[in-house]
A and B are shown apart, each in its own frame.
Chain A
């Protein structure tokens, strides 16, 4: 098999498992909806206030949703001994990383594709623009590149679910800052050139951490 086919096989395996159990997408989606509703109570229904806090709400929601779904990326593998099976496969460890990363990316994008219209509907805000979709996709790529690495690491520690947010959140702070900034600008009707500096930071983060995670991942899952 070619390199790319191997990666797709790993991704496909995760997708089938998810289609059968619907564990990640359904539970994270419900969680996302709950967070959005709770934020509504926290900030009231005043439209001017909502316009101000909307980028923050959106990104806090997606960050928590990311932590929740990334936590599940390796837990089932570990619980049912699938990780050993994966590692016994005649593929390199990097293939496992990219395959799992793409699967997590797919799940996150599906969740966001459903959550964004709900957000637009509940908050009466134009978040369904091309600008915000680009910001969301780029930031999500950043989330899953580091997230997959740290998820594989967290599952091998004693604390498991506790350790992922502690590692993940400080590292993704720069892209959360940039995403919130860019979303605020986009909601205020800013042009693409005004978004450029934020988008550049997110894109640079994506590329750097794709490479770094790809290189260090083999050390994380070795026995």
Chain B
């Protein structure tokens, strides 16, 4: 029931945000039509960080309670997070090309996203190199906790390294109200999509675990 509601909410929000992006919101003066990718880029960046928050929470509870369900939450958060972080990097490159003329630029937040992506990779690597599965889960939880705590420091240092960028003005009233509204709607639309994907993935993995356990039991 709740899932159906979420699906419809997601579809509605997604269509509404498409309408807002392509019809309603005014085109930005200096960057022109290219700037509209902003309404896709920001949700991706947001989901990359939200996923790590989920990994963090799942990891802490896994270490404390040693329950597979928490590890499943963290692991699925990492999988979806890796997808959205990769997308954030790709979309960032697509945006950088017309604006700066190069595919990749060491812009602070793009750099921070890249570092975040590398930590996501480390999370999966350590899991696959563990000798037993439960140890891999524990090690991954440690990486998840350390990685999440590292994010603010990464953002601080990359900002210091490259200097400020138009970004931080977004929530200080520097953004046109219509643009802010469009951004918030697309953020909401993608967050709903994210919650849907994550819950599907978690229930799939829980079922996989249960099936494996039953197989073991009756084999």
Which residues of chain A have a CB within 8 Å of any CB of chain B? 146, 149, 153, 156-159, 162-163, 166-167, 169-171, 173-175, 177-178, 181, 197-198, 201, 204-205, 208-209, 212-213, 216, 219-220, 222
Which residues of chain A are within 8 angstroms of B142 by Cβ–Cβ distance? 149, 153, 216, 219-220
Q: Is B15 an interface residue (CB 8 A)?
A: no
Which residues of chain A are within 8 angstroms of B141 by Cβ–Cβ distance? 219
Known: A216-B63, A222-B138. 18 other contacts (CB 8 A): A149-B146, A153-B126, A157-B131, A162-B129, A163-B125, A167-B125, A169-B118, A170-B118, A170-B122, A173-B115, A174-B115, A174-B150, A174-B157, A175-B153, A201-B157, A212-B149, A219-B141, A220-B138
Q: Are A171 and B147 in contact (CB under 8 A)?
A: yes
Give CA–CA (A153, B122) in the complex, Å. Answer: 12
Q: Are A212 and B131 in contact (CB under 8 A)?
A: no
Which residues of chain A are within 8 angstroms of B125 by Cβ–Cβ distance? 163, 166-167
Nearest residue (CB) in A for B153 is A174
Q: Is B158 an interface residue (CB 8 A)?
A: yes
Interface of A is mostly: helix
Shortest C-beta distance, A167 to chain B (Å), equals 5
The residues in B between 54 and 107 inclusive whose CB is less than 8 angstroms from any CB of A are 63
The residues in B between 133 and 164 inclusive whose CB is less than 8 angstroms from any CB of A are 135, 138-139, 141-143, 145-147, 149-150, 153-154, 156-158, 160-161
Shortest C-beta distance, B64 to chain A (Å), equals 10
Give CA–CA (A216, B125) in the complex, Å. Answer: 19
Give CA–CA (A220, B140) in the complex, Å. Answer: 10
Which residues of chain B are within 8 angstroms of A178 by Cβ–Cβ distance? 157, 160
Which residues of chain B have a CB within 8 Å of any CB of chain A? 63, 115, 118-119, 121-122, 125-126, 129-131, 135, 138-139, 141-143, 145-147, 149-150, 153-154, 156-158, 160-161
Q: Are B139 and A171 in contact (CB under 8 A)?
A: no
Nearest residue (CB) in B for A169 is B118
Give CA–CA (A94, B122) in the complex, Å. Answer: 24
Q: Are B157 and A175 in contact (CB under 8 A)?
A: yes
Interface of B is mostly: helix
- Which of B126, B135, B146 is A163 in contact with, Cβ under 8 Å? B126
Q: Are A212 and B145 in contact (CB under 8 A)?
A: yes
Give CA–CA (A184, B208) in the complex, Å. Answer: 53
Q: Are B145 and A163 in contact (CB under 8 A)?
A: no
Q: Are B146 and A166 in contact (CB under 8 A)?
A: no
Nearest residue (CB) in B for A173 is B115
Which residues of chain A are within 8 angstroms of B147 by Cβ–Cβ distance? 170-171
Give CA–CA (A1, B195) in the complex, Å. Answer: 52
Give CA–CA (A163, B141) in the complex, Å. Answer: 15
Q: Are A204 and B145 in contact (CB under 8 A)?
A: no
Shortest C-beta distance, A50 to chain B (Å), equals 21
20 contacts between A and B (CB under 8 A): A153-B142, A156-B131, A156-B135, A156-B139, A157-B130, A159-B129, A167-B126, A167-B143, A171-B146, A171-B150, A173-B115, A174-B153, A174-B154, A174-B158, A177-B161, A178-B157, A181-B160, A201-B157, A205-B153, A209-B146
Q: Are A158 and B130 in contact (CB under 8 A)?
A: yes
Which residues of chain A are within 8 angstroms of B115 by Cβ–Cβ distance? 170, 173-174
Give CA–CA (A162, B143) in the complex, Å. Answer: 16
Give CA–CA (A222, B141) in the complex, Å. Answer: 14
Q: Are B122 and A167 in contact (CB under 8 A)?
A: yes
- Which of B121, B139, B154 is A157 in contact with, Cβ under 8 Å? B139
Q: Are A177 and B139 in contact (CB under 8 A)?
A: no
